[in-house]
Amino acid sequence: MKPISRRQALLLGGLGIAGTAVGGAGLIWTLASREAPVTGSELIQPPEERSTNGQLQVRLEAAPGRMQLAGQPHLSLGYNGGIPGPTLRVRAGDVLNVRLVNKLTQTTNLHVHGLHVSPEGNGDNVFVSIDPGSTFDYEYKLPRDHPPGVYWYHPHHHGMVADQIFAGLFGTIIVEDPEPIETSVERVLVISDTTLDGLGNIPEVPAMERMMGREGELILVNGQSNLQLSARPGERERWRIINTCVARYLRLRLDGQQLQLLGMDSGRFPTPETLDELLLTPGNRADLLVTTTAGDSVLRALYQNRGSMPGMMGPGFGARNPADQPDGAALATLRVSGEPAAPLMPVPVYQGLADLRSSAVAARRQVVLAAGMGMGMGAGMMRFTINGREFNQARTDTTVADGNVEEWTLINTSPMDHPFHLHVWPMQIIEVNGQGMDNAVWQDVVNVPAHGRVKVRMAFKDFRGRSVYHCHILDHEDLGMMGVIEVQ
Ligand SMILES: [Cu+2]
């Protein structure tokens, strides 16, 4: 039997050692986890917490334990004992209080990805460190005009982000619509990938995979493998989809059903856009309407080429990638049958964020994302840099004046894609490889293609303080592809 590594023991704690022991419960877990994933079970929704009278107070306990993954108990990490953690539902103008209890064996903290809230003090402050056994009280005050949409929470302690998310620490935040959209059912679909070592543990990830960006052998929705959903024809379902994978790009299809995208990240389109295929890079979210048609349809994640490592030919992953087959990986099967449902009211028109394409730009910057061989990280390790430097928490890389609109040109000099994430302030995509956009597209994670360049504009308003921008291939972030921004 493969012994658990020191790094893994640190991540998962004493339970990891117990799980590999022969005899007693340990052996049962070991045998159970060698079996194939359980498929075909009904979709399970994570527990929900909803704000009342403008407030939501929740306690999130990050801890190792036996969690259900692909229908079997596995030693992993979770918030409040489950993967994903509870769904938090709030409204613009609300105050969200989170008491984070760290029962891990490592330092952690919390990031509320995409929320437009203060990055300072006990707000969305990634410089907070919560030691094992400690507790921290976060408070997030959402502005009254906060965009509705799908957001998420996860750890952001530099150097451990990829490991902790890969092991199961993530959950959904939904900011409700100011004007309700009529739907027959709303579902939260949190897509993650992970690898199980056959002993019921999440294994250590080799350096090579961290440099490419790890992709797990299993792609799960709410911790479930190829689950099942049922509906009647003519229903309008609302799917809130999050890509929580450390590095995997999700190219999603649901052939046979009518799909309309309400928006991505915090960006909502004025009217829903019809689509056949949806690309979510790590960190992206989709707010999707599915109008059902009779028959069975499979939600698939198709292989997406995100480039290769410098000096290597072809993609970094081969046969063991579940999406690397002609039909991709089956994530869910939607069965539509029975009496047709009554039609619903049209989706109300949404007035989005102001279009910055006609705004005066106060400053233009270049942000160069690079990967290359370098000194100082040990033999064979690549350096992942922004403007030639690795992350240093003490250094401020970019200083912006409060209230200004800036235009950043994100330049990728490497042969692999990097999804660029800026905290607190959403980005409007202006140009991709020299091509202007047809409409106003807002995202907080923007893909910068291999050897490509993307222009984005941001309005640095409402908050001051220090925060970060980084590659959302979280292994790259942990390896240093992150910079500090201060708005003052
Ligand atoms: Cu990257």
CA of 458 to the centre of ligand 1 (A): 21
CA of 439 to the centre of ligand 1 (A): 27
Residue 457 tokens read as: 């504009």
pLDDT tens figures, 186-229: 999 999 999 887 776 777 888 889 999 999 999 999 999 999 99
DSSP one-letter string for 442-461 = EESEEEE-TT-EEEEEEE--
From 115, 205, 157, 123, select the one nearest 421 (Cα to Cα). Answer: 115
Rg of the chain's alpha carbons, rounded to an integer? 22
CA of 472 to the centre of ligand 1 (A): 6
CA of 416 to the centre of ligand 1 (A): 8
Give me the residue label for tokens 């509870």. Answer: 86
From 339, 343, 361, select the one nearest 408 (Cα to Cα). Answer: 361
Ligand 1 (ion): residues with CB under 5 Å are: 418, 471, 473, 476
CA of 274 to the centre of ligand 1 (A): 30
CA of 55 to the centre of ligand 1 (A): 36
| Residue pair 158/210 in contact by the 8 Å Cβ criterion | no
CA of 418 to the centre of ligand 1 (A): 4
Domains of the chain in start order, with CATH, are 6-175 (2.60.40.420), 185-336 (2.60.40.420), 356-487 (2.60.40.420)
> Rounded to an integer, what distance in angstroms lies between the CA atom of residue 297 and that of residue 239?
15
| Class of residue 53 by CB neighbours under 10 A (exposed 0-12, middle 13-18, buried 19+) | exposed
CA of 410 to the centre of ligand 1 (A): 12
pTM, entire model = 0.93
* 327 secondary structure, DSSP code: T
CA of 388 to the centre of ligand 1 (A): 14
E-assigned strand segments in 103-148: 111-113, 135-141
CA of 158 to the centre of ligand 1 (A): 15
Per-residue pLDDT of the chain (488 residues; tens, 9 = 90+): 344 555 565 566 654 444 443 333 333 434 444 567 899 999 999 999 999 999 999 999 999 999 999 998 889 999 999 999 999 999 999 999 999 999 999 999 999 999 999 999 999 999 999 999 999 999 999 999 999 999 999 999 999 999 999 999 999 999 999 999 999 999 999 999 998 877 767 778 888 899 999 999 999 999 999 999 999 999 999 999 999 999 999 999 999 999 999 999 999 999 999 999 999 999 999 999 999 999 999 999 999 999 988 766 555 444 356 777 778 899 999 999 999 999 899 999 998 788 999 999 999 999 999 998 765 555 567 899 999 999 999 999 999 999 999 999 999 999 999 999 999 999 999 999 999 999 999 999 999 999 999 999 999 999 999 999 999 999 999 999 999 999 99
> Rounded to an integer, what distance in angstroms lies between the CA atom of residue 364 and that of residue 360?
11
| Sheet with 72-79, edge to edge strand ranges | 72-79, 55-69, 95-102, 135-141
Cβ atoms within 10 Å, residue 446: 27
Q: How far is CA 158 from the centre of its chain?
A: 16
CA of 475 to the centre of ligand 1 (A): 8
CA of 185 to the centre of ligand 1 (A): 36
In degrees and rounded to multiples of 5, residue 343 shows phi and psi of: -65, 155
CA of 367 to the centre of ligand 1 (A): 13
From 422, 417, 323, 412, select the one nearest 368 (Cα to Cα). Answer: 412
From 17, 44, 15, 19, select the one nearest 34 (Cα to Cα). Answer: 19
Q: At residue 397, what is the residue type?
A: D
Beta pairing, strands 218-221 & 185-194:
antiparallel
